[in-house]
Structures are given as C-alpha cells and as structure tokens.
Amino acid sequence: MDKKTPFKKLLVANRGEIAVRVMRTARAMGYRTVAVYSQADAGAEHVALADQAVCIGGNAPADSYLRIDRIIQAAQDTGADAIHPGYGFLAENEGLPAACAAAGIVFVGPSAQAIRSMGDKAGAKALMIDAGVPCVPGCQGDDQSPDTLLEQARRIGFPLMIKATAGGGGRGMRLVTDDSSFADHLISAKSEAKSAFGNDVVLLEKAIINPRHVEIQIMADRYGNAIHCGERDCSVQRRHQKVIEEAPSPAVDADLRARMGAASVAAVQAIGYEGAGTFEYLLDADGNFYFMEMNTRLQVEHPVTEAITGLDLVELQLRVAAGETLPLTQDDVQFRGHAIEVRLCAEDPAAGFMPQSGVLNTWRPAPDLRVEHGLRDGAEIPPYYDSMVAKLISYGATREDARRKLLAGLAETRAFGVRTNQTFLSACLAHPVFAAGQATTGFIAENADAVLPDPAQADARGAMILAALLRAGPDTGLNHDFPTPLRLSRNDAEFVPQVRAFKYGACHVAMPDAPDMDLRVLRRAGQEVAFELNDSLHHAVLGQGADGPVLQLDGQVLDYSDLTFAPTVSADAAGGDGKVRATMNGAVVSVDVAVGDSVTAGQKVVVLEAMKMEHTHISTVDGIVSAVHVTAGAQVTAHSIVVEVDPA
C-alpha cells in the first residue's frame, strides 16, 4: 500500500526564529514557503523571508496564531499543501492535525491521536508504564476531590509535585514539602491550570530533589522505523523554564544513553508514533531515570542535537511527513563534540525577569556562533508573545571548548534598545558549578547571589565609565579643566558623574558615594572604544537604548536613561503620588478596583499580561481611587497611568 504524501508548498504556522529556521531548510529542499502573521508582526523577518505571507488576525495569539480556521484558510488560499507548526502555539494541539486531515493538507508532525494520547500527562504516564518505561511514583488523580488527593499525597510521601495533566511550561505545577500546605498548593495549581489550559485536572508525583533534566530526541516514520538522536541536558531552568541546554549531558555515559534511548524508541514504536518527538526524564544522583512527559513536536533546543550528530531534524521531519522512510538507522547516528545553547530573552533579570518590549535599535549577533533568530536593526519586540527572541549555539570538540566559545560569543553579541537576559546568561555559563558540569535543576536558585547579583555596584561603576567614554576622546589636545556633569538613571537609581577631560583622552571622573576614577580613552572605531583603567586595557561598545546610552563591557550590558536635560522629579512624584503606572507594554487582564474604593498600600489594583506572564500592579499609598484609566482586555504602554489614588 502506497503511504506517500508528497507536497510542494509549506505553510509555517508560527513566528519569529522558529518560522525562519523551518523556512531555511524547506527552501533548501526546494519547497516554496508561506508565512502567517499577526498585525503586530507585519514587518517581521519571517514574513519577509517567505515566498508568500498571509495576515491571520490581530495581535493577541487567540486572535491570530491560535486560530486553526484562519491557518487552514490561509493554506487553501495560497495553495499550501503542508503545514509545519514549529513549536508552541498549536504544535501540541490535536485540533490542527485533525483540521489538516479534514482539508487534505499534510501535517508535519504526529497524528491527532498521538498528540491527544501524549498531551495528557496522566494518560501518557499510563502508556509509558505499559511500555516498560520507568516512571516517577505517584497517582494519576482519577478522583480529584481534595480529601482523596491529600490521602494519596500522604501515601506517596513528601516532598511531591502537583502537576496539571494538560499543558506545560511550569504552569499548574507546585512543589509541596508537607501535608499542612498541600490544600493551598492544590487550590493554586488547579486555578492556574484552569486559567492556562481550560482544564484543572492534576496528578501527583514523588519529587526528585535537585535532579538532572535530561531528554531524548527521537524520530520515527510511518512504517515502524524509529531512532534516537541522543540526549540533551536541560537542567539549568528558572521556574521550570529552560535557560541553557547542552548535548551530550555531562551526567550521561554511553551505557545510560543506550538504555534511555532504547526505552524511548520502544515507547514510540508501541504507540505507532510518527515524526519528531522528545522524551523528557528526571535523572537522579544514582543514575536512575524517570519519565516526565513527551513533547510531540520539535524542541526549542534541537540545534544542539543537530550540532553533535550532523543531522538536520527539520529535514527529517519533512521527509517523514512526505511518507519517506527514515534515511538512516540507529547505527548511522554518531555523536561528535559538544554543543551548548542559551535562550536570549527580552526580559529584565534585575526586575524579577520582567518581560520587555519595544524596538531593538541594534542587533549584531556573534559571527562565530550559530544564532537562530528573526531579528534585524529596528525590529519590533511586541508584548504579546513569548519573551525568547533568539538562541545562541556554540560547538566545540570538548564541553569546555563549547563553553568558552559561547561566553565569548555572548560578549560580542549586541542587542541594544530592549533589555535582555544576556548578562545573566554569561553569569550562568561562567559559574564554577556549571563549568564543572554539575548543574542540576536547582542551579539558579542555589546560586542566585552569583548569577543574579545586586546590580547597584555595577550600575554605579558603569555610569562613571560611560560618562568618561562619552565626554573624553583620544583625538583632542585640549584641556577641559572643568567638570562636565552627566545625569543617568538605571534600575530606579540616579547617578551624576562629573567628568573633567584632559589632553589625549585622559579624564577624571568623580561621583558622590563612589571612589574617583582616572581613565584614558585610547581609540574609537564606530561603536567600539578601547580605554585604559587601573593600568589595564579594556574594550567596550557604546550603543543607543530606548531612553539613553548603552555600555557593553566585560560581559555586561548596561542601559541607562539620560536625564541630563530632564527636570528633577521629587520622590513623592516618582512613586508616592498615588499614580499606578504600567511597568511594561501589555494587556489588561483584570481591574480590581473602581472609582471611590478605599485601598491600602500594597493592595492589588490591576493585573497586566505580557509575553505569557501575568504581573500584579499595586497601590503605593493608602487612599481613595479617584480614576481608573483602563478596562479588561485593553492594551497599555509602559509607564502609562492605569489607576490614580488620592493619598489619605
């Protein structure tokens, strides 16, 4: 029986770096490509790259990228006979492959039945137990009554995890350390799961404390052939969101790799799975591995697997979707070298990883890395989608080669105009625990002081150096023996360095509450500046941010607001005036007060959502609500006033 399903034109039902990534391979294979986009993405790189592009709605995902009907219509209107979902959005929604089948369109991925089976964590765990895959002890939560779940929790033993059976990304997941707090965590997990996935069913699992998070990449065709492509270590996480991924895992040897791979291949063959997929496991200190879940799609971190195997996983996906047999066997999969990936996100680690949006004025990725992105100078980072904007991947003969190369590449990468986690990523890579290959899922929490240091000292030093580089230059033979002030602010702190410039780039910088600094600017070339400080040579990059200059130095990116010519704002006007301001661009989720209400300092007044995260905004004073400027569902811009409170 002929099982081939050839196609000629591929629609990519996604955006950003993954849409660009899929299109790159599709076009290399001779396929024409179609992009879909929201109104916010009209000028995006993936739209420009495609042969055709179709606007499928407004800015919110629910009105665009999550609209299966509009995606199918776009495919029919453009003659696209295949759809690749990328990841996120609809990649694990059984409705899309079902709609594709009904419309006679090839879906690049598993069947709707496979997605349904593996998308429910409880059902997937039962299937894995039947297939002989090791699973974490727990209960599937058939009876969701609080009393029954508490009884089951006591049977399993604490600590344990409450997990939503639908969805992922850490939502609906809680660590419970004792039975006294179980009820509150259960209510919280169910509420979050209901809001995120429309399903509040949870399961319980024994918590494996500080494990490794190791996953196995598999690929299977519709003829029963399946292979694994080795493991990836994704242990460095924040709030269950992956930050750094690498392949191979420092904790996995050839024997363990073979056992984990064989279990994963046996499982996909048992359920008749087709396409790319990933089995995610917890690995304890004794080398025991336990199934967590299966992702029925391409993973964000797939480039590290491609780097060490030489395979193009998107090409394999497209060949399998067209009905070809896998072009290689397990013996053909060879592993060479080491690869590490970091996720560059538009977020501010110093402000609790607050999502950021705006215009990326300068984008210069490091030339010696593989960089997956959909960016360019002047690219708009909208507030409606995930905060990840690029992935930086290094490859080396050894793990240390790859780590050093990635650190150097991060230092060379210029992303000015929107705050990112670039400095945080460098701190994680440079930490001795990560360098030694010993990071577990508790790495960031255990080393927060090192990877998330208090920025005040760095901000003050950076302000003084920045002022010197802006005010002094190597090409003058004149003395300016009078202080020139510069007023800068960063992270709610204000800095007023006074610069006295002398001949040939020498200068003296003084600032209250900081030691004086003598510095000499040696040369400039575009944005790059070389200078001497404390008998050491330094190289810096000067850029332009959203509100002022940016200094990139010694692996840190420091952006400042230039207030030199701005009026001085009193402390009361800055935060004690009762005006509640939006901390970022976003959508109003809820308005929790009305005009005339009495509120107290710290009381929730508005909740905003940006980049899939909710942020509570509070009153800074006791008083009476005098004005409410927003409604639920409205879009707001950063710093706009949303609620006004007359102080008591």
As annotated, the active-site residues are 297
The total of other beta-carbon atoms located within 10 Å of residue 56's CB is 22
* Spatial distance between the Cα atoms of 470 and 464, rounded to a whole number of angstroms: 10
Tokens 């020139």 -> residue: 484
* Spatial distance between the Cα atoms of 243 and 558, rounded to a whole number of angstroms: 21
* Spatial distance between the Cα atoms of 22 and 85, rounded to a whole number of angstroms: 9
* Spatial distance between the Cα atoms of 52 and 370, rounded to a whole number of angstroms: 26
β-bridge mates for residue 11, sequence order: 34, 83
* Spatial distance between the Cα atoms of 130 and 114, rounded to a whole number of angstroms: 16
**Parallel/antiparallel/unpaired status of strands 32-38 and 52-57:** parallel
Q: 127 is written with which tokens? A: 């299937």
3-state secondary structure of 259: helix
Question: With contact defined as beta carbons under 8 Å apart, do 357 and 381 qualify?
Answer: yes
Question: With contact defined as beta carbons under 8 Å apart, do 22 and 314 qualify?
Answer: yes
First to last CA, the chain: 80
Tokens 């039947």 -> residue: 130
Pure H helices in 238-280: 254-271
Tokens 């560059």 -> residue: 344
Q: Which residues contact 609 (CB under 8 A, 6 or more apart)?
A: 586, 587, 589, 615
HSE-up of 175 (CA within 13 Å, CB side)? 10
Q: Which residues contact 379 (CB under 8 A, 6 or more apart)?
A: 44, 45, 359, 360, 363
C-alpha closest to that of 580 among 636, 618, 630: 618
3-state secondary structure of 136: coil
Dihedral of CA atoms 150, 151, 155, 156 in degrees, nearest 10, equals -30
User: Rounded to 5 degrees, what angle do the CA atoms 542, 544, 547 make?
Assistant: 135
C-alpha closest to that of 339 among 423, 389, 406: 406
Query: For the chain, give me the number of helices (H) and strands (E)?
Result: 18, 42
C-alpha closest to that of 14 among 421, 317, 374: 374
Q: Which residues contact 52 (CB under 8 A, 6 or more apart)?
A: 32, 33, 34, 35, 78
**Parallel/antiparallel/unpaired status of strands 613-618 and 604-610:** antiparallel
Tell me which DSSP letter residue 575 carries.
I
Burial class of 352 by CB neighbour count within 10 A (0 to 12, 13 to 18, 19+) = exposed
- Helices 182-197 + 146-156 axis angle, to 10: 120
* Spatial distance between the Cα atoms of 563 and 569, rounded to a whole number of angstroms: 10
Q: Which residues contact 572 (CB under 8 A, 6 or more apart)?
A: none
Question: With contact defined as beta carbons under 8 Å apart, do 216 and 228 qualify?
Answer: yes
Question: With contact defined as beta carbons under 8 Å apart, do 402 and 339 qualify?
Answer: yes
